[in-house]
Structure 1
Amino acid sequence: MTIQLQYSQVTVNDVDESLPFYCDALGLTVVNDVSNGGFRWVTIGSDDQPDLQIVLSEPHAGRSQADGDAMQELLTKGSLPILIFATDNVDATFEKVRASGAEVLQEPIEQAWGPKDCAFRDPSGNTVRISQLVAA
Structure 2
Amino acid sequence: MITRMSHVCLYVLDQDAAKAFYTEKLGFEVRFDIDMGEGFEGGGKGFRWLTVGPPDQPDVQITLADCRMGHDEQTAEEVRALVAKGALGAAVFNTDDCHKTFRELSERGVAFLSEPAERPYGIEAVFRDDSGNWFSLTQPRG
Task: Tell me if both proteins adopt one fold, taking TM over 0.5 as the criterion.
Answer: yes
* TM-score (norm: length of structure 2): 0.85
* Percent of residue pairs identical: 33
Is 1:108 the equivalent of 2:137?
A: no
**What is residue 66 of structure 2 aligned with on the other side?**
58
Shift, 1:2, TM fit? 4.4
Whether the 8 Å CA contact 2:11–2:89 is kept in 1: the answer is no
Of residues 106, 120, 124, the one that matches 1:117 is: 124
Is 1:96 the equivalent of 2:81?
A: no
Whether the 8 Å CA contact 2:98–2:124 is kept in 1: the answer is yes
> Following the alignment from structure 1 to structure 2, what is the Cα–Cα distance between the partners of residues 99 and 124?
19
> Following the alignment from structure 1 to structure 2, what is the Cα–Cα distance between the partners of residues 21 and 28?
9
Looking at secondary structure, tell me which structure has more strand per residue.
1
> Following the alignment from structure 2 to structure 1, what is the Cα–Cα distance between the partners of residues 95 and 53?
14
**What is residue 6 of structure 1 aligned with on the other side?**
6
**What is residue 41 of structure 2 aligned with on the other side?**
none
One-letter code aligned to 1:9:
C
**CA-atom RMSD, angstroms?**
1.6
Q: SS state of the match for residue 131, structure 2?
A: coil
> Following the alignment from structure 2 to structure 1, what is the Cα–Cα distance between the partners of residues 103 and 20?
15
Is 1:31 the equivalent of 2:39?
A: no
> Following the alignment from structure 1 to structure 2, what is the Cα–Cα distance between the partners of residues 41 and 128?
22
> Following the alignment from structure 2 to structure 1, what is the Cα–Cα distance between the partners of residues 55 and 19?
17
Whether the 8 Å CA contact 1:25–1:96 is kept in 2: the answer is no
User: What 5-or-longer segments of structure 1 have no aligned partner?
Assistant: none
Whether the 8 Å CA contact 1:40–1:61 is kept in 2: the answer is no
User: What 5-or-longer segments of structure 2 have no aligned partner?
Assistant: 39-44
One-letter code aligned to 1:7:
H
Whether the 8 Å CA contact 1:21–1:100 is kept in 2: the answer is no
Whether the 8 Å CA contact 1:105–1:119 is kept in 2: the answer is yes
1:13-35 alpha-carbon deviations (Å, 9 max, x no partner): 11111123211222210010022
* TM-score (norm: length of structure 1): 0.89
1:67-109 alpha-carbon deviations (Å, 9 max, x no partner): 2122112112211031210011111211111111121101111
